[in-house]
Structure 1
Amino acid sequence: MAAISDMTAGAERRKFVRRLFKRKTVVFGVAVLTIFVLLAVFAPLIAPYAPAKLSIVNRLKPPSLIHLFGTDEFGRDVFTRTIYAGRLSLLVGGAVVALAAVIGVTLGLLAGFFKQLDTPIARLIDAMMAFPDILLAIALVAALGPSLTTVIIALSIVYAPRLARIVRASTLVIRELPYVEAARALGVSTLHIMTRHVLRNLLSPILVQGTFLFANAMLAEAGLSFLGLGVSPDIPTWGTMIAAGRQYLDQANWMTLFPGFAIILSVLSLQMVGDGLRDILDPRLRKDL
């Protein structure tokens, strides 16, 4: 029976992957994300120069075979710095999604499953979502001090309520379903019901929302870095590169163009993958495919 169950699960996964990759937008998004991940992982091998290497003689050089994306005001290679900045953006996005999922899913499960906790947690979620995302992130980073860890914590706090709200709404419905009532009647522990019966059925919306939060976190990190509230200026980020390049738009627009293009491509690809996952995993939308 276990072997048959494993074969059925494997067939369902293959069917899901085939349906997902039938969408051209998803294929494009996955391809772009794969390129960004490979560039980030193998940056030390791919990058032709060190990201902090100065060469005043070569400052503000236009794109060429020697410097594919040109050089900045200190003669640093823009292509190299763009690749290394991508590593940071992917790290921040992944860390924010992981931490926000832990906070948001925990709050959502507690609020949705325990009626006595629903009102205080729901009001906390509403209060946090009343603030614009970027303003709340700026306030938290300014209060805690700019650093990579602070940016991750601040953005996780900002985006956790979104996941919490989705998980809470779904948990309110699932906890009243017959199989949950049957598990309670059989004496199954509350923790087991919450993890095995409730959380297991929430993986699809959490996964879809996670892709959107990943994109938003990368965009927010770039915004904070642009404002000077992100990581140290010595570390290349797309936001700091754009902020530095705006002073030279009239004579070296490539300093802003390539980091900006990297942000657009990465965020757009994540949104495409998220849209594809939502259309496949949502039964209401799946009927129209």
Structure 2
Amino acid sequence: MTDIATRPALSEGSKFLRRFLKRKTVAFGVLILTVFVLLAILAPWVTPYSPSKLSIVNRLKPPSGLFFFGTDEFGRDVFSRTIFAGRLSLLVGAAVVVLSALIGVSLGLLAGFFKQFDTPIARLIDAMMAFPDILLAIALVAALGPSLTTVIIALSIVYSPRLARIVRASTLVIRELPYVEAAQALGISTFHIMTRHVLRNLLSPILVQGTFLFASAMLAEAGLSFLGLGVSPEIPTWGTMIAAGRQYIGQADWMTLFPGVAIVLSVLSLQMVGDGLRDMLDPKLRKDL
């Protein structure tokens, strides 16, 4: 009985996965993202050197069999630092998505379901989205002080209005549907209606928007680190590596080339995955696939 019950679910899941990976751009994005995640998880075992190990004798060495991506101005292995910097970027992106989802979904549900909260929350969302994301993030980090925790909090505050606006707009529509009115007439608690009837129907847009926020958070973290407003300088990040390599462009181009390529590939792969999810989860777009 268990096999019979689970077989349809498994077939639906495999069917969705096949259709999702059918597009070459989506499959490429999933492949690149998987490689980055595996490298981040296995970083201590796949890197030949410590990312903080200094070797002045080997400073500014070009890429070779000994140093795959060359070395920086302190003789540190650029390949090892790039891998460990990717681990930090993925951590920041994941943390920002989770925290901004908690803030944005909560505000969006309150604004969309309760009319008395709609106007003040909507005006707050509009006010926050009136500022450019990076400028608001810089202001928050400068006010709170540069650190990994500060960067995550600042970016979560910056990106939560995006989710809040989407959730609010969808909740305003779902709130008026007959099944929600029927649940209210039956005396079901408001919390149960919001979580089981409203939020469940919002998972698709939240998931799609989450992939785009992941990419934006990684790019913003690199930008803040490049400006010296990110984590501590001794911790390798793609932004600090590019900032350090600016002084050696023309002499040691690999110092900026490989971290820059890592940023482009990671952000591009997330955008591809997000586009694929949007096309698969949107009924209107799914008909065209």
Normalised TM-score (structure 1):
0.98
Shift of 1:245: 0.2
Distance 1:148 1:105, change over 3 A: same
Which residue identity is paired with 1:177? Answer: L
Q: CA deviation at 1:284?
A: 1.2
What is residue 280 of structure 1 aligned with on the other side? 280
1:138-177 paired onto structure 2 within 5 Å: 138-177=138-177
What amino acid sits opposite 2:271 in the alignment? Q
1:149-175 deviations in Å (ceiling 9; x for gaps): 000000000000000000000000001
Of residues 177-186 and 136-145 in structure 1, the stretch that sits farther from structure 2 once superposed is 177-186
* Map 1:44-123 → 2, pairs under 5 A: 44-123=44-123
State the Cα distance separating 1:29 from its structure 2 match: 0.7
Distance 1:7 1:110, change over 3 A: farther
Equivalent residue for 2:259? Answer: 259
Q: CA deviation at 1:7?
A: 4.3
Of stretches 30-39 and 142-151 in structure 1, the one that deviates more from structure 2 is: 30-39
Q: Deviations over 1:41-94 (max 9, x none)?
A: 111111100111111111000000000000000000000000000000000000
Give the structure 2 partner of residue 136 of structure 1.
Answer: 136
Residue 2 of structure 1, CA deviation: 9.3
Residues 17-41 of structure 1, C-alpha deviations (whole Å, 9 max, x = no match): 1110111111111111111111111
Paired residue for 2:231?
Answer: 231
- Paired with 1:2 and 1:185, the residues of 2 have a C-alpha distance of 36
The number of residues matched between the two structures is 289
Between the aligned partners of 1:10 and 1:72, the Cα distance in structure 2 is 49
State the shift of 1:4 in Å: 6.9
Q: Distance in 2 between matches of 1:285 and 1:38?
A: 31
Deviation at 1:225, TM superposition (A): 0.1
Query: 2: distance between equivalents of 1:68 and 1:14?
Result: 38
- Identical-residue share of aligned pairs (%): 83
Pairwise CA RMSD: 1.3
Show structure 1 runs of 5+ residues with no match: none
In the TM superposition, what is the alpha-carbon distance from 1:3 to its structure 2 partner?
8.0
2:183 is matched with 183
Deviation at 1:12, TM superposition (A): 2.5
TM-score (norm 2): 0.98
Query: 1:5 offset after TM fit, Å?
Result: 6.5
Whole-Å separation in 2 of the counterparts to 1:263 and 1:140: 23
Shift of 1:14: 2.1
Secondary structure in 2 matching 1:119: helix
1:43 corresponds to: 43
Q: Tell me the residue number matched to 2:29.
A: 29
Q: How many Å separate the matches in 2 of 1:197 and 1:145?
A: 41
Secondary structure at 2:212 match in 1: helix
Structure 2 unmatched ranges of 5 or more: none
Distance of 1:133 and 1:211 partners within structure 2: 17
Letter in structure 1 aligned against 2:211: T
1:223-278, CA deviations, whole angstroms, 9 ceiling, x for partnerless residues?
00000000000000000000000100010000000000000000000000000000
Kindly provide the amino acid, as one letter, of the partner of residue 219 in structure 1: L
Distance, in Å, in 2 between the alignment partners of 1:116 and 1:133 is: 28
Q: Distance in 1 between matches of 2:110 and 2:7?
A: 35
**Shift in Å, 1:286:** 1.0
- Equivalent residue of 2:71, what SS? coil
One-letter amino acid of the counterpart of residue 155, structure 1: L
- Relative to structure 1, the CA distance from residue 94 to residue 68 in structure 2 (aligned partners, 3 Å threshold; closer, same or farther) is same
